[in-house]
Structures are given as C-alpha cells and as structure tokens.
C-alpha cells in the first residue's frame, strides 16, 4: 500500500480567543527581509486555549516559547480531549537559528525554534484544551493546523 504524504489545509482558531499573533523569521540568517508565520496564540499560567474540532482529522500542534534567560531551559503544556487527560509535552529551549521573534507592544520578543507533533481527532465533535504545565510559569506560542492526505 502506498503511503500518501500529508499537506496543511487549514490553521485552526481557538473558540475562547480572537487575537492571534505573527512570528517573524528569516529563511536564512543573511536575508534582509523577514517572513511572517500567522495564526499563533499565547498561553500562560492564566490563559489556556480551547478548540472545537470535527473529526476525523489529523492535527499538527506547533509550539515555541519566549526566551527568558532566567528560566530553567524547559517549557511544557498538556492537552485534554473532551475533558480527559491526553498527554503532557515538555521541550528544551533551543534558540531559533532563523531569528524568530514576536512584536508585542512595539517590543521584539525572541522565541525558541519550533517543536511539533501530530495527533488524530476521532469522528464527531471533540473539544481540546491546552494549558501550561502547572509547575512552570512561562509564555508559550501555539499554532494548530489541520492536515489532509495529499492526492
């Protein structure tokens, strides 16, 4: 059986937030112009994200964190599906080699390189909540994308 490649067909928006952010980055550090990656949402210890997703679907979660020299070098979050624990995700900071940053209140905030993973959404309407790991106080940027098989 042939395995088809997947392609991104949609950036998902949370049901509990309207504001999204753009991460700016360079394809090559020597480039003079920045590219923009849209659809990023912030979570921290006071803010979570909630998504309503109709399955079956394949979802890619992409994450980055603010770079703070005082942090322990880790950031983490967990996901619940329909109120039930699904998984914890813990990543080490890795400085972006593409000068990735966010402009917030006219201030440049450096962010880590990205990490990502996929998960499958079962048939029907499903609700997902993503929040930071309870023992960490960091700001995380998340982006969810829906994927389909390439034909």
What does the pLDDT look like over 36-70, one tens digit per residue? 999 999 999 889 999 999 999 999 999 999 987 66
SS3 state at 137:
coil
pLDDT at 133: 86
Query: pLDDT band for position 137 (50/70/90)?
Result: confident
Q: What predicted TM-score, i.e. pTM, was given to this entire model? A: 0.90
pLDDT mean across residues, the chain:
91
pLDDT at 69: 67
Average the pLDDT over 108-121 and give the result: 95
Average the pLDDT over 78-88 and give the result: 97
């Amino acid at each position: 059986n042939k395995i088809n490649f997947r392609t991104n067909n949609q950036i998902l928006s949370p049901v509990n937030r309207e504001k999204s952010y753009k991460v700016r980055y360079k394809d090559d550090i020597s480039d003079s112009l920045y590219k923009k990656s849209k659809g990023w949402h912030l979570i921290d210890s006071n803010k979570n994200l909630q998504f309503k997703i109709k399955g079956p679907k394949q979802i890619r979660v992409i994450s980055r964190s603010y770079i703070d020299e005082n942090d322990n070098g880790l950031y983490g979050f967990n996901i619940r599906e329909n109120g039930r624990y699904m998984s914890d995700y813990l990543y080490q900071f890795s400085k972006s080699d593409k000068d990735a940053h966010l402009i917030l209140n006219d201030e440049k905030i450096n962010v880590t390189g990205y990490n990502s993973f996929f998960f499958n959404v079962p048939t029907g309407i499903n609700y997902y909540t993503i929040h930071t790991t309870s023992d960490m106080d960091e700001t995380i940027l998340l982006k969810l994308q829906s994927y389909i098989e390439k034909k």
